[in-house]
Amino acid sequence: DAKTTQPPSMDCAEGRAANLPCNHSTISGNEYVYWYRQIHSQGPQYIIHGLKNNETNEMASLIITEDRKSSTLILPHATLRDTAVYYCIVSKYGGSQGNLIFGKGTKLSVKP
């Protein structure tokens, strides 16, 4: 079973920030928080990951709470192409040793 909890769906207006929450209360000290997304049944796409510090890249920002029990993925200016299922995954390896545990994710719908 997935070690994360995410809302099943969210809506966001185009151009606005999309904030996707994730709870991972049983995360271990050596586990990272990874985010992937899957656009319309394509292969999953890596977005960002972090251990305990907030992270930012060209796609998104990741905010991890101080106790590391939850995190938020932020898409600063959502576009229609960001409509996808977003998966929050805790992993020691992020995919480089296989066995990523995908839950049901959050289906984000960006609306014009």
Partner 1 sequence: NAGVMQNPRHLVRRRGQEARLRCSPMKGHSHVYWYRQLPEEGLKFMVYLQKENIIDESGMPKERFSAEFPKEGPSILRIQQVVRGDSAAYFCASSPTRGGGNTEAFFGQGTRLTVV
Write out the residues near partner 1 by the rule CB under 8 A. Answer: 2, 30, 32, 34, 36, 41-46, 49, 51, 87, 92-105
Q: How far is the CB of 39 from partner 1 (least distance, A)?
A: 11
Identify which of residues 67 and 96 has a Cβ nearer to partner 1 in the complex: 96
Residue 85, Cβ neighbours under 10 Å: how many? 20
Under DSSP, is residue 81 helix (H, G, I), strand (E, B) or coil?
A: helix
Residue 72, Cβ neighbours under 10 Å: how many? 15
Q: Are strands 61-64 and 55-56 parallel, antiparallel or unpaired?
A: antiparallel
Identify which of residues 85 and 110 has a Cβ nearer to partner 1 in the complex: 85
Whether the Cβ atoms of residue 88 and residue 73 lie closer than 8 Å to each other: yes
Identify which of residues 77 and 92 has a Cβ nearer to partner 1 in the complex: 92
Identify which of residues 42 and 112 has a Cβ nearer to partner 1 in the complex: 42
Cα separation, 15 vs 77, in Å, equals: 5
Q: How far is the CB of 98 from partner 1 (least distance, A)?
A: 3
Q: How far is the CB of 16 from partner 1 (least distance, A)?
A: 27
